[in-house]
A and B are shown apart, each in its own frame.
Chain A
Amino acid sequence: QSVLTQPPSASGTPGQRVTISCSGSTSNIGSNTINWYQHLPGMAPKVLIYGNDQRPSGVPDRFSASKSGTSASLAINGLQSEDEADYYCAAWDDSLNGWVFGGGTKLTVL
């Protein structure tokens, strides 16, 4: 059971907008910034969003994220086939004194 809760799956057709939620508690998302990682099959994970809503250089602006209270969400606009991957949220947990990941959401592009 992951400390951060994500839906196990999400799907959409090319061009659609898809959102992935991440729910936590006051000791992690409620107190600290959240990051999102994209994990393509057979590849190393890659940071997609850091500091709640910041995109590293090279990440398309189709990807955006927000945080409110103890929850956060990742949005992908203009869905593309290459977006098919696993997506993870992560944050530092003050109670556990360590990083915690969500269980991951498998995004399927139909």
Chain B
Amino acid sequence: QVRLVESGGGVVQPGRSLRLSCAASGFTFTNYAMHWVRQAPGKGLEWVAVISYDGRNTYYADPLKGRFTISRDNAKNTVYLQMNSLRPEDTALYYCARDRNVMVVAASFFDYWGQGTLVTVSS
């Protein structure tokens, strides 16, 4: 069955970097776009970024552009989120989610989600 397992979270000081990974299994990874979505403590879901099946198309939430980078390695069935210049407000549970489509299209949805990996930005 479809499985998404996030890793790489932890405690990091403000200004430092962190790379999250999401290992996918149970489906043909190259047939789907992939997302990162986060949830800060006590807050709602916030979409972070999406990458198309081949990695050629990426989109980001406006506030995160320039600091976060989404990428994928189709040989390893893994999607990544590189987070630079981290701030305390980036503290959140980061979820990986599968898009229902191969490309980034508006008429789509997130059909499978991982359990998340917790990132805490604190000195």
**Once the chains are docked, how many angstroms separate the CA of A45 from the CA of B46?**
12
Q: On chain A, which size bracket covers the interface?
A: 20 to 34
A77 to chain B, nearest CB (A): 22
Q: Taking A44-B113, A47-B109, A51-B109 as contacts, is the C-beta distance between A98 and B62 under 8 angstroms?
A: yes
Contact count band on B: 20 to 34
| CB atoms of B62 and A46 under 8 A apart | no
Assuming the contacts A46-B113, A103-B44, asked whether A98 and B61 have C-beta atoms less than 8 A apart, the reply is yes
> By the criterion CB–CB under 8 Å, are B44 and A2 in contact?
yes
Q: Does B72 contact A (CB under 8 A)?
A: no
Which chain A residues in 3-31 approach chain B with CB under 8 Å? 31
Tell me the minimal C-beta distance from B5 to chain A in angstroms: 11
Q: Tell me whether B95 and A88 are in contact (CB under 8 A).
A: no
Q: Is the interface of A mostly helix, strand, loop or mixed?
A: strand
> Is A86 touching B44 in the complex (CB atoms < 8 A)?
yes
Task: Report the minimal beta-carbon distance from A101 to chain B, rounded to whole angstroms.
Answer: 5
Contact across chains for A98 and B106 when beta carbons are under 8 A apart? no
Chain A residues near B27 (CB, 8 Å)? none
Q: Are A90 and B116 neighbours in the complex by a CB distance under 8 Å? A: no
Determine whether the beta carbon of B47 is less than 8 Å from that of A56: no
Q: Which of B24-57 contact A (CB under 8 A)?
A: 35, 37, 44-47, 50
Closest residue to B99 on the A side, CB-wise?
A99
For A49, the closest partner residue in chain B by CB is B109
When distances are taken between beta carbons in the complex, the residues of chain B under 8 Å from A31 are: 106
Using a CB–CB distance below 8 Å, which chain A residues touch chain B? Answer: 2, 31-33, 35, 37, 39, 44-47, 50-51, 56, 86, 88, 90-92, 94, 96-104
Known: A50-B109, A99-B47. 7 other contacts (CB 8 A): A46-B113, A50-B111, A56-B111, A94-B106, A96-B62, A97-B59, A101-B47
